[in-house]
């Protein structure tokens, strides 16, 4: 990839000269889709990013929201899609490292990770290779740095075969006194690079992430993939903590996309300032590196700090204590962003970059692209045997247990995990505020492929329902918006749909979208990916306890919020049932008042009479019921209606199964908010019996566990 002719003309006009080789490369990377959001930024104003608890919104390395008057939560999400196709282990591992450093740059300590992963069909050998490598990379890096991976999702869909998605979120904790931002503060302050030495890995990573994957990407694009060192990252985490504790940092930026050039220029551009950087001062691990390589290498585990001159030596002492490299590479100025280099044979210092920092960071022109609204699918409903359909949906890799994934993660390190992976949402104990922090993250490619706008609304509601099921109130969200080549009108139309859908539902739920990431050009020779919004949402509750997902051996089971049953309009669009049996249908209608539903579910989940709560979503009611039974507690349920397949397998979000000792109280709570249907009662034998339209499905916890072990069975 090189600087486009139209962009070069704009740069030449601004500089009144031809750019140097280093300048051209810097513009190419910082004006890429990955960094400048040239196709997506015109759409992102749809998001409501403000709220009384929002401290730092979009535009920084991570967002910051107030949990209480003293404790702040940081929240960030990042994609590492192209690198994870080329090198699944290092691509995924460095994605984790990058989002953790985004957390550090806010003055926060990372307390939890979540991953949302998307691959081609599970029975494809190459998809399995990518899946295993990505999970290994995430688990290795997260376990080594001691940050628990507590939540996430895994989806398989044929259109990810040539371009998997790896989206990683990180949550951290800080306070008002410790908060740091990425905006430079004062001319004369020094710029200090702390962390690993700079090598040639990751060169051109930002521009690589902004183009379609070619057939030979796994070999040709390998140099654009960074190589991670989690042990150095752990040292950097602890060093950063001490630097913040001692109030030595004025501003900070993680060295991610476009390396040192990206981090340092963005810091000063935010404050309408400049910098003078001497590139040869950067500590390096490879010989004979030139100015462009030093400027743009995306070597990992590095931070750029703005430091007052009188604090530089103390920063150096702390870096040395943690066995980290430290270079004073320049200072903040009131002029241009200037980089010099003394590396020529003559020994003379050469100016290789001299540009206005704001123009470099914000001058890229936005794209005005055509879009087409995707057509609504026509109903084409299959008619399999009900028991066969139940078995197929429950055992699908998309709805089956993800235990093979999360058992590789140390989800208890840090002793904050109250509810871990495998539940609707994780809960972290924030003892500083005596509150539980709920975390849900995920997307639904079947939904957004079938109906981008409504599917994205459903993704937002689904994550909020996960949080409410644990008795927590949604607080804020960040998104990772993944799409194909936006220059194709149908692809851009689908992408626009997911943006508008997420924005509408999050605003309806009074849950501000405080930050995020955009990843486009996720196309390969296999075609574009489905429009894929990943949402990471946090919620808060008093205390750290939550109702379990599994039923107790006694109590009534209620289904809350099923609009299809209430209106006799069951729609199967986007369901795993249709994916299994090659059907199509319209997407389900969502609840009339989702905000009231979430508020009421949160309150009911925390009632003493509530024994268990489980969100109903992927796989529909059939999978939710199967997930709730255990060897010690079963269910006898009767499904109302004349369409048992539709009722069992439709995937309208905003529904929950509630086991309670006080069914009348639950009905009263939801009166005028959402329909409530009594399904049956719990038993003490571990059996699941479903009476649906005169047909009966009989199974038990052991059989269900075996059916849901699809991934474990295939990969062990």
> DSSP states of 238-295 as a string?
HHHHHHHHTT--SEEEE--TTHHHHHHHHHHHHTT-EEEEEGGGS-BSSTT--HHHHH
The response to whether 82 counts as a known ligand-binding position is: yes
What is the spatial distance between Cα 666 and Cα 644, in angstroms, rounded to a whole number?
A: 25
The sign of the torsion formed by the CA atoms of 540, 541, 547, 548 equals: positive
Q: How many residues belong to the chain? A: 716
**Would residue 34 show up in a list of annotated catalytic residues for this protein?**
yes
Using DSSP bridges, classify how beta strands 435-442 and 426-430 pair: parallel, antiparallel or unpaired. antiparallel
**φ/ψ of residue 117, rounded to 5:** -120, 140
The response to whether 79 counts as a known ligand-binding position is: yes
The response to whether 226 counts as a known ligand-binding position is: yes
Q: In what order do the strands lie in the sheet with 109-119?
A: 54-56, 63-66, 71-79, 165-175, 109-119, 149-156
The response to whether 479 counts as a known ligand-binding position is: yes
The response to whether 251 counts as a known ligand-binding position is: no
The response to whether 298 counts as a known ligand-binding position is: yes
Using DSSP bridges, classify how beta strands 165-175 and 251-254 pair: parallel, antiparallel or unpaired. unpaired
What is the spatial distance between Cα 548 and Cα 335, in angstroms, rounded to a whole number?
A: 58
* Residue from 34, 140, 614, 618 carrying the catalytic annotation: 34
The response to whether 424 counts as a known ligand-binding position is: no
Q: Alpha carbon of 686 to those of 613, 629, 683: distances in Å? A: 18, 6, 7
The response to whether 576 counts as a known ligand-binding position is: no
The response to whether 516 counts as a known ligand-binding position is: yes
Q: In terms of C-beta density within 10 A (0-12 exposed, 13-18 middle, 19 or more buried), how is residue 589 classed?
A: middle
- Contact indicator for 684, 633 with CB cutoff of 8 Å: yes
Give the helix/strand (H/E) hosting 207. helix 205-208
The response to whether 254 counts as a known ligand-binding position is: yes
- Here the tokens at position 454 are 């409504």
Contact partners, residue 696, CB within 8 Å, separation at least 6: 689, 690
3-class state of residue 630 by DSSP: strand
The response to whether 81 counts as a known ligand-binding position is: yes
- Here the tokens at position 234 are 């752990």
The response to whether 177 counts as a known ligand-binding position is: no
The response to whether 652 counts as a known ligand-binding position is: no
Q: In terms of C-beta density within 10 A (0-12 exposed, 13-18 middle, 19 or more buried), how is residue 345 classed?
A: exposed
**Would residue 80 show up in a list of annotated catalytic residues for this protein?**
yes
Binding site as annotated, residues for ATP: 37, 479, 516
Positions marked catalytic: 34, 80
Binding site as annotated, residues: 37, 78-82, 101-102, 226, 254, 298-300, 479, 516-517, 519
Binding site as annotated, residues for Mg(2+): 78, 102, 254, 517
């Amino acid at each position: 990839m090189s600087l486009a002719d139209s962009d070069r003309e704009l740069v030449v006009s601004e500089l009144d000269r031809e750019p140097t080789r280093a300048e051209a490369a810097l513009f190419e990377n910082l004006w890429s889709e990955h960094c400048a959001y040239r196709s997506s930024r015109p759409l992102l104003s749809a998001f409501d990013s403000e709220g009384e608890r929002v401290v730092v919104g979009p535009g920084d390395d991570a967002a910051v929201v107030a949990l209480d008057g003293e404790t702040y939560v940081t929240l960030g999400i990042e994609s590492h899609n192209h690198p994870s196709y080329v090198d699944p282990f290092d691509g995924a591992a460095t994605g984790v490292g990058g989002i953790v450093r985004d957390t550090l740059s806010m003055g926060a300590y990372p307390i939890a990770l979540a991953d949302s992963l998307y691959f081609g069909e599970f029975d494809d050998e190459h998809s399995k290779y990518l899946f295993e490598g990505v999970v290994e990379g995430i688990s290795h890096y997260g376990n080594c740095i001691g940050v628990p991976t507590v939540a996430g999702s895994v989806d398989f869909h044929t259109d990810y075969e040539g371009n998997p998605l790896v989206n990683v979120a990180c949550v951290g904790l800080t306070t008002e006194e410790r908060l740091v931002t990425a905006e430079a503060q004062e001319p004369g302050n020094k710029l200090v690079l702390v962390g690993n030495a700079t090598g040639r890995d990751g060169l051109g990573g930002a521009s690589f992430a902004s183009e379609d994957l070619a057939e030979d990407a796994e070999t040709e694009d390998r140099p654009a993939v960074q190589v991670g060192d989690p042990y150095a990252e752990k040292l950097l985490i602890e060093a950063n903590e001490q630097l913040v504790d001692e109030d030595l940092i004025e501003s900070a930026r993680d060295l991610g996309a476009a390396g040192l050039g990206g981090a340092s220029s963005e810091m000063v551009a935010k404050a309408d300032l400049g910098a003078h950087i001497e590139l040869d001062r950067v500590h390096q691990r490879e010989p004979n590196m030139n100015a462009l390589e030093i400027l743009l290498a995306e070597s990992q585990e590095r931070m750029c700090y703005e430091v007052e001159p009188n604090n530089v030596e103390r920063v150096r002492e702390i870096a040395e204590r943690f066995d980290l490299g430290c270079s004073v590479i320049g200072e903040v100025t009131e002029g241009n962003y200037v980089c010099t280099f003394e590396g020529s044979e003559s020994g003379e210092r050469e100016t290789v970059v001299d540009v206005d920092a704001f123009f470099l960071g914000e001058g890229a022109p936005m794209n005005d692209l055509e879009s087409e609204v995707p057509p609504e699918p026509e109903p084409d409903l299959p008619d399999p045997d009900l028991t066969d359909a139940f078995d197929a949906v429950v055992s699908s890799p998309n709805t089956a247990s993800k235990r093979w994934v999360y058992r590789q993660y140390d989800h208890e390190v840090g002793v904050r995990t109250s509810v871990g992976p495998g539940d609707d949402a994780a809960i972290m104990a924030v003892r500083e505020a005596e509150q539980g922090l709920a975390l849900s993250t995920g997307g639904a490619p079947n939904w957004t492929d079938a109906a981008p706008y409504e599917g994205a609304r459903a993704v937002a509601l689904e994550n909020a329902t996960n949080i409410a099921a644990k008795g927590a109130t949604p607080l804020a969200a960040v998104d990772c918006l993944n799409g194909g080549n936006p220059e194709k009108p149908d692809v851009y139309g689908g992408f626009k749909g997911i943006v508008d859908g997420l924005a509408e539902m999050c605003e309806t739920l009074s849950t501000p979208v405080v930050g995020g990431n955009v990843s486009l050009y996720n196309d390969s020779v296999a075609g574009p990916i489905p429009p894929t919004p990943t949402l990471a949402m946090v919620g808060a509750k008093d205390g750290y306890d939550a109702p379990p997902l599994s039923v107790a051996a006694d109590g009534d089971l209620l289904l809350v919020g099923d609009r299809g049953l209430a209106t006799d309009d069951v729609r199967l669009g986007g369901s795993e049932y249709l994916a299994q049996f090659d059907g199509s249908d319209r997407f389900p209608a969502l609840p009339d008042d989702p905000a009231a539903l979430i508020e009421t579910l949160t309150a009911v989940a925390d009632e003493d009479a509530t024994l268990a709560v489980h969100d109903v979503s992927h796989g529909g009611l059939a999978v939710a019921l199967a997930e709730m039974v255990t060897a010690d507690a079963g269910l006898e349920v009767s499904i109302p209606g004349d369409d048992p397949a539709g009722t069992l397998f439709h995937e309208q979000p905003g529904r929950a199964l509630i086991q309670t000792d006080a069914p009348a109280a639950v009905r009263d709570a939801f009166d005028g908010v959402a329909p409530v249907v009594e399904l049956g009662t719990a038993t003490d034998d571990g059996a699941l019996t479903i009476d649906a339209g005169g047909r009966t499905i009989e199974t038990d916890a052991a059989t269900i566990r075996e059916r849901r072990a699809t991934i474990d069975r295939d990969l062990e």
